Amino acid sequence: MAPPRSNVPKPGRTLFGLFAVMAVLTCVMFLQGQPTPKLGLDLAGGTTVTLTARTESGATPPDTQMTQAVKIMTQRVNGLGVSDAEVAKQGNRNIVVNVPGEGQDRVVQLIGTTAKLQFRQVFAVAEGRPTSGTSPSPAPSPSGSAKPSASPSGTATPRGRAVSKALAAPSPSASSSGGSASPSASPSASPSASPSASPSASPSATGAPSPLPTDLLGGQDYSAIDDKAVIQQFEKLNCSGADKRAPGANDPNRKWVAACDQDGQAKYILGPVRVEGTQVSDANAMPPDAQQGQSSWTVALKFKAQGGRQFGQVTSEAYQAPAGSPQRQVAIVLDGQVISAPSIDNGAITGGTASIYGPPESFTQSYATDLANVLKYGALPLEFTQSSIDEVSSTLGSDQLRGGLIAGAIGLVLVVLYCLLYYRGLGLVAVGSLLVASGITWVSVVILGENMGFRLSLPHIIGLIVSIGITADSFIVYFERLRDELRAGRTLRPSVETAWRRARRTILVADAVTFLAALVLYFLAVGGVRGFAFAMGLTTLIDVVVVFFFTKPLVALLSRTRFFGRGHPLSGLDPRRLRATTTTTTTRPTGQEA
């Protein structure tokens, strides 16, 4: 007695497994709340922005820097999960960015951000409005030292975002250690503020803050600053305007700079650049950590080896400064604006890592994600200005989408009619396979759009229409192999397995060639051609899944039925009709007479 065969095909289980996977994917699609694909720029509209490179001399920027800028902008777009966006160089100094979808202003602003990051030590801090003017002489304190009032004064602690795992954010009050206006009255606590002859700011009778003296600033005199031009710029600087970027604040080659904070509430005199943004090796947005007392999102920075040493050195020097002195602060400058200026109160930071965080109302998940994204991929080599921003209407895209769907429907109907007329009952298998392939493609596109930012554009639709013919080719290869077996006089059920073994290799080779072509196009092409290649590669993989897990098992099940098993004339598998067709189509050799 022959042992039972363990490799007997079980088409019912295969079909059940395929439908179970499709059911799970469908549930995932509906649980995501997005049952339809996201559309690209050409179908749903979007935003087109033109960025113009700006150089100090006004000369044409080098081509290498423009190419590098395009690469960094593309990385930023991909880091935000925006699919089908296009970043292309236009002319000698313009870069055009196309972002699909509505409400993409945040993405557009982030792409063109220069993102030059600098760490500088603070040497002076004051309110954001101009501080020049004559200050009334204050009454000396009993101890003979200058004692600025803790009430509103000419200095203001920035509402800055803190840095480093070991630091606390500066308090918004005027008595904070991070650039406050309340050094101790004793000479030992604030040596620079001790001479009795030095004037001090006191509030006016109306309670309005008095202007700062021109020789003292928050307990720190100007003697440490050897650039009088920066001091004059600092005193006249007004950070309450629309443009909060002080001239020269973004220049890493300047030893002393005057800069505003992002809110325009404080201004600083900053020392030389101690750590540059190029020393940041990684940046990631992190959610609030209640165990560490953080209620806002943070940006975790990781420095390179050299950057870690530089950061440790500047925090060590800041920690050694007198308590309450502005030099205790280390400013984080992004594109010429101070985004944080915390006080180093817990010792030097030598671990090579730091964290940027701030008030929950301003340091949101969106802000932290954007900041981490621009820092991760580096600063742009050039500064860019937005020359134009255009909103692309979706009206034309709707017409294109309608035309693409009509073309796809026509192609599908023609394939179905051909299969039914030529293969008859067996053509129903082809129709079912096309429907299953369409369902898997739809679910895949929706899930990719929700999780990876994939957006369906017109080139994608063209690729999907072309894939109808690719999928039909696989069915035809298998069906013709099966019909060849029947023409040779074999019965249907054994012919199903024999034909599958012979057709399987041909199907895999054909799909492999198509997939390789799509892969080459995807990596070498740009824009619409790349979208076409992605759609063709995706549908090629789906074709393999459908043929292996639906078409072949379904044919195996139908071969066990009376209609197909006995070769009904309408089944498309009638051996007598197949052999008769072969006989009638045989031709005589040329020149032979009847």
Q: Taking residues 311-339, what's their average pLDDT?
A: 89
Q: Is the pLDDT higher at 417 or at 391?
A: 417
Residue range 420-452, pLDDT digits in tens: 888 888 889 999 999 999 899 999 999 988 887
Say whether pLDDT at 197 is over 50: no
Q: Tell me the one-letter amino acid at 388.
A: S
Of 52, 54, 55, 47, give the one whose Cα is nearest residue 97: 47
How far is the CA of 543 from the CAs of 277, 460, 537, 549, in angstroms? 47, 16, 10, 10
Say whether pLDDT at 417 is over 80: yes
Of 324, 306, 327, 323, give the one whose Cα is nearest residue 315: 327
Q: How many residues does the chain have?
A: 594
Say whether pLDDT at 580 is over 90: no
Q: Taking residues 553-574, what's their average pLDDT?
A: 86
Residue range 302-312, pLDDT digits in tens: 999 999 999 99
500 — phi, psi (to 5°)? -65, -40
Q: Is the pLDDT higher at 213 or at 367?
A: 367
Return the pLDDT at 513: 93
Note whether 549 and 17 are within 8 A (CB): yes
Return the pLDDT at 168: 36
In which band, very low, low, confident or very high, does the pLDDT at 193 lie, cut at 50, 70 and 90?
very low
Query: Three-state SS string across 414-468, please?
Result: HHHHHHHHHHHHHHHHHHHHHHHHHHHHHHHHHHHHHHHCCCECHHHHHHHHHHH
Indicate the range of 294-308, 390-404, 513-527 predicted with least confidence. Answer: 390-404
- Superfamily of structural domain 17-36+394-582: Multidrug efflux transporter AcrB transmembrane domain (1.20.1640.10)
Distance of CA 116 to the CA centre of its chain: 19
Residue range 106-161, pLDDT digits in tens: 677 777 777 788 999 999 998 887 765 433 333 333 333 333 332 333 333 343 44
The DSSP annotation for 385-406 comes to EEEEEEEEPSHHHHHHHHHHHH
* H helix intervals, 32-86: 41-44, 63-79
User: Positive or negative CA dihedral for 521, 524, 529, 534?
Assistant: positive
Neighbouring CB atoms inside 10 A of 442's CB total: 17
Q: Is the pLDDT higher at 179 or at 528?
A: 528
Of 25, 50, 47, 21, give the one whose Cα is nearest residue 35: 25
Note whether 265 and 156 are within 8 A (CB): yes
As annotated, the residues of the chain forming the CATH 3.30.70.3400 domain(s) are 46-111
Q: Taking residues 330-352, what's their average pLDDT?
A: 85
DSSP state of 145: S
Q: SS3 for 410?
A: helix
In which band, very low, low, confident or very high, does the pLDDT at 505 lie, cut at 50, 70 and 90?
very high
Note whether 179 and 148 are within 8 A (CB): no
Q: Tell me the one-letter amino acid at 45.
A: G
- Between the CA atoms of 525, 527, 529 and 531, what dihedral angle is there, to the nearest 10 degrees? 110
Q: In which order are the strands placed within the sheet that holds 353-357?
A: 162-163, 353-357, 298-303, 280-286
DSSP state of 149: -
Say whether pLDDT at 209 is over 90: no
571 — phi, psi (to 5°)? -80, -20
Residue range 351-394, pLDDT digits in tens: 888 877 777 877 888 888 888 887 887 778 888 888 888 777 66
In which band, very low, low, confident or very high, does the pLDDT at 44 lie, cut at 50, 70 and 90?
confident
Could you give the CA distance from residue 156 to residue 147 in angstroms, rounded to a whole number? 16
Q: Taking residues 583-591, what's their average pLDDT?
A: 49
- For Cα atoms 471, 473, 476, give the angle at the middle one, nearest 5 degrees: 120
Q: Taking residues 219-231, what's their average pLDDT?
A: 76
Q: Tell me the one-letter amino acid at 375.
A: L
Say whether pLDDT at 545 is over 90: yes
Indicate the range of 19-23, 32-36, 283-287 predicted with least confidence. Answer: 32-36
- Residue 103, class by beta-carbon neighbours within 10 Å (0-12 exposed, 13-18 middle, 19+ buried)? exposed
Could you give the CA distance from residue 275 to residue 312 in angstroms, rounded to a whole number? 10
- For Cα atoms 307, 311, 315, give the angle at the middle one, nearest 5 degrees: 175
Residue range 94-111, pLDDT digits in tens: 898 888 766 566 677 777
CATH number, domain 46-111 = 3.30.70.3400
Return the pLDDT at 104: 64
Q: Taking residues 467-485, what's their average pLDDT?
A: 86
Residue range 66-88, pLDDT digits in tens: 988 888 888 887 777 666 677 88
Distance of CA 373 to the CA centre of its chain: 7
Could you give the CA distance from residue 150 to residue 173 in angstroms, rounded to a whole number? 9
Q: Taking residues 308-323, what's their average pLDDT?
A: 91
- For residue 571, give the H/E element and its range: none
- Residue 88, class by beta-carbon neighbours within 10 Å (0-12 exposed, 13-18 middle, 19+ buried)? middle
User: Positive or negative CA dihedral for 188, 191, 195, 199?
Assistant: negative
Q: Taking residues 5-10, what's their average pLDDT?
A: 62
Could you give the CA distance from residue 547 to residue 471 in angstroms, rounded to a whole number? 9
109 — phi, psi (to 5°)? -65, -40
Return the pLDDT at 466: 81
Neighbouring C-alpha atoms within 13 Å toward the C-beta of 409: 6
Return the pLDDT at 397: 64
Note whether 35 and 582 are within 8 A (CB): no
In which band, very low, low, confident or very high, does the pLDDT at 171 lie, cut at 50, 70 and 90?
very low
As annotated, the residues of the chain forming the CATH 1.20.1640.10 domain(s) are 17-36+394-582
Alpha-carbon Rg for the chain in angstroms: 36
Of 461, 361, 470, 340, give the one whose Cα is nearest residue 405: 461
Could you give the CA distance from residue 310 to residue 398 in angstroms, rounded to a whole number? 55
What are the counts of helices (DSSP H) followed by strands (DSSP E) for the chain? 15, 15
Of 573, 544, 582, give the one whose Cα is nearest residue 428: 573
Q: Is the pLDDT higher at 56 or at 232?
A: 232
